[in-house]
Amino acid sequence: MRKIRLAVIGAGAMGTRHAELICRHEACSLVGLVDADPERRMVAERLGVPFRASVDALLDQERPDGAIVATPNTQHVPVAESCLRRSVPVLVEKPVADTPAQAWHLVEAARSRRTPVLVGHHRRHNPLICQARRLVREGALGQLVGVSALWALCKPDEYFVEAWRRQRPGGGPLLINLIHELDSLRFLCGEVSQVHAYASAAVRGLEVEDSLCISLRFDSGALGTVLASDTTPAAWSYEANTGENPVYFHAAENCYHFLGTEGSLAFPRLELWRYPPGTPRGWQHGLEKRAVEVTPADPLRLQLDHFCRVVRGEDEPLVDALDGARTLALAAAVRESADTGQPADPAAHLADPSTASNRL
């Protein structure tokens, strides 16, 4: 089968990871890179591919079958639209855009160009998340009652040297980090109808929060909480507990707990707690714990496998532009609630882009 020819737009930290993965993949090849910073040419030289001066030049000269957009968030939509205008399928890094209104713009562009957009919520490709979803969605826990997610770790001081990371809009754990947790919770537990959130900057005193507490009401009636902080030496976060990214300290702990009427599940160790078959229910009776086995695999690599199939027309995007916009709308509702102290409705940030243009 002919290799899928892919281009990477934005050759920073994430774009370089994508480019290296493409070069190691047997189903696709890297045909070129572009970056607004000419110094990033060194990535193209190291990988032995052309470095072009503009997105248009890359698309017109290399004519890729698909493109990966790994620019800063504000550039996702204009760059992706350049690809869509040429009917080039695109994988856009998360979050899909920097505002819900921009995300909606991309939803409409993908529809009108009839060209697929895949959003890089790569955790959905992680076999641990896929197995947890099967357990939650296919009844192993009975009816879902609630979920509790903890994201607690310590960002290094040097992280905050970059000014944008200390400022709104753009900085802060909500849009940079918790967008992943919010997307995973939607994927695992379904749509969220209301949120109520508090944010605190009490530790660092920066313009951006260092901690958040989020209450969620799911459409199904299940309830959820997310407690998040990037300023604590704690061992409970997706990054630390899944070991997905070797850059992070690894701790074999759980960071999400799912509660159902027939059992409960701790993630990512996938520990399923239930009453043994045929035994009575009640708090005085013992539960048994069973660990569900999963073979680990790199979700970024699995996402690339999927993107190749999307480009070939064999798969619909697992996370399309509308799905990515829903996750962004949920983050926007969390921001609204944390700023106003009032509950907020995620759908209000999706339905009418003209009222959803607040930058996060």
**Nearer to ligand NAD (CB atom), residue 72 or residue 243:** 72
SS3 118: strand
Element (H, E) at 152: strand 144-154
Q: Which of 15, 17, 7 is nearest to 37 (CA)?
A: 15
Nearer to ligand NAD, 5 or 122 (CB): 122
d(CA 164, CA 35): 19
Collapsing DSSP states into helix, strand and coil, what is residue 260? Answer: strand
Residues 325, 107 contacting (CB under 8 angstroms)? yes
Binding stretches for ligand NAD (CB under 6 A): 9-15, 34-37, 40, 55, 70-73, 75, 79, 93-94, 120, 122
Q: What does DSSP say about strands 90-93 and 117-120: parallel, antiparallel, or unpaired? A: parallel
Q: How far is CA 306 from CA 57, 242, 247, 319, in A?
A: 26, 21, 24, 11
Residue with Cβ nearer ligand NAD (72 or 139): 72
Nearest residue by C-beta to ligand NAD? 12
> Considering beta carbons, is residue 94 or 269 the nearer one to ligand NAD?
94
Nearer to ligand NAD, 1 or 247 (CB): 247
**Least distance in angstroms from the C-beta of 334 to ligand NAD:** 17
Taking the least distance from each CB to ligand NAD, the nearer of 75 and 148 is: 75
CB of 34 to ligand NAD, least distance (A): 5
Least separation in angstroms between CB 36 and ligand NAD: 4
Q: How many helices (H) and strands (E) in the chain?
A: 12, 15
What span, in angstroms and rounded, lies between the C-alpha atoms of 190 and 315? 22
Query: Least distance to ligand NAD from the beta carbon of 4, Å?
Result: 20
Q: How near is the Cβ of 319 to ligand NAD at its closest, in Å?
A: 11
State the Cα–Cα distance between residues 294 and 125, nearest whole angstrom: 13
> Shortest gap between Cβ of 13 and ligand NAD (angstroms)?
4
